Structure formats: C-alpha cells, structure tokens
Amino acid sequence: MKISILVEFQYHVANYFYMIGMIAEPVIYLVVWSTVANAQGGEVGGYTPGAFAAYYIVWTLVRNMNIVFTPYGWEGYIQRGQLSGELLRPIHPLHNHISFFAGWKVVVIVLWLPLAVALTLIFKPTLDDITFLEVVVFFFAIWGAYLIRTMLLSLLGMITFWTTRVSAIYEMFFAVELILSGRLVPMSLMPEWVQRIADFLPFQWTFGYPIESLVGRLTTTELFSGLGMQLLWIVITTTMVSVVWKFGIRRFSAVGN
C-alpha cells in the first residue's frame, strides 16, 4: 500500500485533472435536478436543491471509491503474462490488486477533501442533520461499496478467461448499473417498479446507499440494515469470485495465454 501512495503523489496534478473531469458528471445532474426542483416549487421527490447538492457532492467521493480495476484490463492482464507472474507468488493475485487500489483510495480520500470544500461553497448543500453515527456508518459503507464493486468487476473481468468478445456484456452492465445504483439520480426519484427491481441487485449498495447513509434521511434501522445488506453482498460476490476464479484458473492453466 505504501508504494502506491508514493507513486500516486507524484502524479498529483494528473489526478486533479482527472477528478475535475469527473465531478462534471454529478454537477450536471445536480444542476438539472435543482432546476427541476425549482420549477416544481422548491422540491421534487422529497429533495430540495440543497438536498440534491448534498447528495451529489458526497456522490463524488463514493464515485471515487467505486473506481476499481477495469474489467477491460483483464484481457491484457491475462495475455501479457502478468497473471502468470502473479500466480507464482504465494499471495492470491486479487489480494495484490485490492491492496494496491485500497492504497490509492486513501490518497483519493485525502485529495477529495479540498474539492468537497470547494463544491460545498459553490453549491450550498443542506448538511444540518448529519449525525456522528451517520458519519461512522458512512465510513464503513464506502469501504463496503469498494469491496462489492471490486468483486463485481472482477467477475466481469474473469469472463475474459473464456472469451475476449466482452465489450457488449460490459457496456450493458455499466448502463444498467448507472441507472440502478443511484448514480444517475437518487433511487427515490425512480419509478416504483424500477426501485423494486433494484432491491434485488447489488448496485444500490455500492452507490446510493453509502451516499444516503451520510446525507439521506435514513432511520437507524435502515442505516444498520444497509450495512448488513452490504455485508451480504460482499459475501455473495466474494464467494462467486472464488468459485469462478477456480474455474478460470483451471481453464487458464489448460489453455495458457
């Protein structure tokens, strides 16, 4: 982890460039929905412009925590022999990735704070009812989100063990995830039937839930059951990853790169 922090500090400028490009997305959503809220007399779906601001500012951190090794990278990873090299080490290759990216996340959190301050000054979010409990839950929730998404994208990436014609699958996945995770809009603004479907999927636990744990109006029960759901999904996805990994490695060893 220490090494990745060092590496990342050297590229601080590039990181900021990247982050500024990234906050454009939530800012757009924020402005659009604030406009709608204003047109509808001050709030829409229970969200005022201030509430939207809070949602989308926290969004930026959660988004960052969500960025993990891209499934597109698995093809190169497998074919360029990197995987072979890592299989020879006594640590499971995924541990390596998780720690590396986790190290980066620490840097990201630190770099995010000034950005968050700036955004707060510009968009004036309503932050009055944040409790200490919510902050604590939030802290755990973002790491839960990180783990779930790591597992999900690893699953996607492992499809590459069997075929490289994967972009269709990936694109569909990302599109669905965008809509059902709370990234596009807070889930409560979605039509009922969509929310129902989303309840069965892990997506909202990687995005919407962490945000709402901090700035939403979740009851204590909901806060903890949310963490529970995250744990559940972590267990499910990790199990799936181990299983698929075993089959994938078997195939990899049989076929080679």
Partner 1 sequence: MGASSVAVNQLAKHFKVPEREAGLKASAQALFNRKHRLVKAVDEISFTVEPGEVVGFLGPNGAGKTTTLKMLSGLLHPSSGELSVLGFEPRQRNHDFLRQITLVMGNRNQLAWDLPPADSFELNRAVYGIERKRFQKVLDEFVNLLEVNDLIQKPVRNLSLGERMKMEIIGSLLHTPKVLFLDEPTIGLDVTMQRRIRRFVAEYNERYGATVLLTSHYMADVEALCKRVIVIHHGKLLYDGGLSGLVERFSAYKKISVTLRERDADISGFGEVLHRDGARVTLRIAKSDTSKITARLLSEYQADDLTVEDPPVEDVIEQVFSGTEQP
Partner 2 sequence: MNRIIKLIATYLRIGIMNEMQYRINFFIQLLQSLVALGTGLVGLALVFDHTTELGGWSRPELLAVMGVHILMGGVIRAAIQPNMQTLASNIQEGTLDFALTKPVDSQVIVSVREFRLWQVVDVLMGLSVLGWAVNELQGQIGLGEAVIFAVMLLLGGIMIYCFWLMLTSSAFWIIRVYEMINLFEGLYAAGRWPVGIYPGWLRSMLTFLVPVAFAVTVPSEILVGRIDVLTLVGAFALTAGLVIAARFIWKLGLRNYSGASA
Q: Which is nearer to partner 2, 43 or 222 (CB)?
A: 43
Tokens of 229: 């759901």
256 binds, among partner 1, partner 2, none (CB under 5 to 8 A by kind): none
Residues 154-173: x where in contact with partner 2 by CB under 8 A, - otherwise, as a string: -------------xx--xx-
Instruction: Give the CA radius of gyration of the chain.
Output: 19
**CB-count exposure of residue 116 (10 Å: 0-12, 13-18, 19+):** middle
User: Is the alpha carbon torsion for 114, 117, 123, 128 positive or negative?
Assistant: positive
Residues 38-77: x where in contact with partner 2 by CB under 8 A, - otherwise, as a string: -xx---xx--------------------------------
End-to-end CA distance of the chain: 29
Tell whether residue 9 is a contact of partner 2 (CB under 8 A): no
110 binds, among partner 1, partner 2, none (CB under 5 to 8 A by kind): none
Minimum distance of partner 1 from residue 171's CB (angstroms): 25
Tokens of 204: 């909202």
Rounded Cα–Cα distance for residues 144 and 152 (Å): 12
Rounded Cα–Cα distance for residues 86 and 91 (Å): 8
Tokens of 116: 């968050």
Minimum distance of partner 2 from residue 255's CB (angstroms): 22
Residues that bind partner 2 (CB under 8 A): 11, 13-15, 17-18, 20-25, 27-28, 31-33, 35-36, 39-40, 44-45, 122, 167-168, 171-172, 174-175, 178-179, 184-185, 189-191
